[in-house]
Amino acid sequence: MHTIDEIIDLIREINPAVDPGPEEELIQSGKLTSVDVMSLVLALNGNFDIEITPLDLKEENFRTPRAILAMVERLEEE
């Protein structure tokens, strides 16, 4: 099982200017760009041994670090 800190650390690696809290809005606030999200997808796939498919590329899955963690946990169970 992964932690919210792991997700936040990945976000910081991708965009060092972003230091989000667990419930902080990432997409609509503009803190993460579409390029950042794609970089995050690649990092999540590699670091957590999951496969984020085009069907998973929904704003709701990337809205907050907690939402990202929930998606990762769901994909690990599949």
Q: pLDDT, tens digit, for every residue of 47-58?
A: 999 999 999 999
Residue ranges of domains in the chain, CATH in brackets: 4-77 (1.10.1200.10)
For position 1, what pLDDT does the model report? 79
Contact between 44 and 50 under an 8 Å Cβ cutoff? The reply is yes
57: three-class secondary structure by DSSP: coil
Flag residues of the chain having pLDDT under 50: none
